Amino acid sequence: MSEMSVSDMNAPPTDAEKARARKRFDHLCQRGTAFLGTEYAILGGAMSWVSERHLVSAISNAGGFGVIACGAMQPERLAEEIAATRALTDRPFGVNLITMHPQLDDLVQVCLQAGVGHIVLAGGIPPAAAIKAAKDGGAKVIGFAPALVLAKRLIKMGVDALVIEGAEAGGHVGPVSLTVLAQEILPYIDQVPVFVAGGLGRGDALLSYLEQGASGGQLGTRFAAAAESIAHEKFKQIFVRANARDAVTSVQLDERFPVIPVRGLANEGSRRFLVHQAEVIERFRSGDVTREEAQLEIEHFWAGALRRAVIDGDVENGSVMAGQSVGMVKAVQPVAEIISDLVEQAVVALVRQQRRMDCNG
């Protein structure tokens, strides 16, 4: 055992220690940064209504990789958003397209014509034709892999990188946590870079996944509350006040009427959603509505609800999508500060790791 005491272990890192740790961090991120063309292997996960020109350009200008959320935008609107983002940054950024969009092919063409280098295809296994069109047009394609078999299938289909998103994330989520997904997928996939998402709030956590073989991380919740985010002040303030346990997934009352799991802050809207489901199911039982009508009524409950929360600031009735990482949103911070905090936390964690190794000889 060396001479180093516990207080030495926790002493502030020296510049030399930090420089060495930073080199190691950059090395761990190298595949991700090379793929994205950025300084940091940190993606701003696309968030409908939130990930528009201001936040996307702020993330890219800070050395991360901003991603526009196309959501339900029409092709002309997307073209406009890409051009407006380009006017605010000369750094790389991507566009997230939802595979169910009826004009997916047109949207891919809009991205290609605008010279977007990375297209993220979200919302299920993307059609092979969309992957091919994007790649033929010179873009790199990023897909979401919710399981190892799907990761392998997406790679066979030609995707250039994967995001694995755990159930801790905000928005639409799968059932499996990032801790488990990472173990299921990272040791077996090295053909393409894999970025992890869901529940990342600190650099130490990002570091642990890089050490498991991830090429970088994707964050949503922390950026939604950033100073540059156009989300309503009330939306940001409720993020600052919330704890991890407040970010819950939507509850389905009856197995005959599926509810897509969405993680967000519990509020009056989520409580009324339960009552709404119960009422609709009762009307179905009494024969007032068909099963299809009942399902539609349940689905329509949240129509426009994310916009209501993000843009209008109705955080009581709207859909306040947020990940469990919301507990780590302590203030409304500029994007550059969020990113530099993440990097600093990873670097400090590496310094401590090095000291422990030195200490153990």
Ligand X SMILES: Cc1cc2nc3c(=O)[nH]c(=O)nc-3n(C[C@H](O)[C@H](O)[C@H](O)COP(=O)(O)O)c2cc1C
Residues that bind ligand X (CB under 6 A): 45-48, 50, 69, 71, 96, 122, 165, 168-171, 197-200, 218-221, 224, 321-323, 325
Q: Look at residues 338, 329, 346, 348 and name the one whose alpha carbon lies nearest to residue 61.
A: 338
Cα radius of gyration rounded to whole Å, the chain: 21
CB of 15 to ligand X, least distance (A): 31
Nearer to ligand X, 174 or 289 (CB): 174
Candidates 140, 142, 149; CA nearest to 123 is 142
**CB 222 to ligand X: min, Å:** 6
Distance CA 193, CA 180 (A): 18
Name 94's bridge partners: 67, 118
**Smaller CB separation from ligand X, 189 or 205:** 205
Q: Can you tell me the distance from the alpha carbon of 329 to that of 59, in angstroms, rounded to the nearest whole number?
A: 17
Comparison of 117 and 123: residue with beta carbon closer to ligand X: 123
Contact 78, 70 (CB under 8 A): yes
List the beta bridge partners of residue 264.
248, 321
Q: How far is the CB of 218 from ligand X (least distance, A)?
A: 5
Nearer to ligand X, 199 or 203 (CB): 199
CB nearer to ligand X: pick between 75 and 264: 264
Instruction: Indicate the residue among 141 and 321 with the shorter CB distance to ligand X.
Output: 321
Closest CB 281 distance from ligand X, rounded Å: 28
Residues 15, 21, 22, 24: what is their CA dihedral angle, to the nearest 10 degrees? Answer: 150
Kindly state the smallest distance separating residue 275's Cβ from ligand X, in Å.
24
> For residue 331, what are its two tokens?
């203030």
Residue 351 CB, shortest distance to ligand X, in Å, is 25
Q: Quick one: tokens of 64?
A: 């991360």
Burial of 109 (0-12, 13-18, 19+ CB in 10 A): middle
* DSSP state letter for 289: S
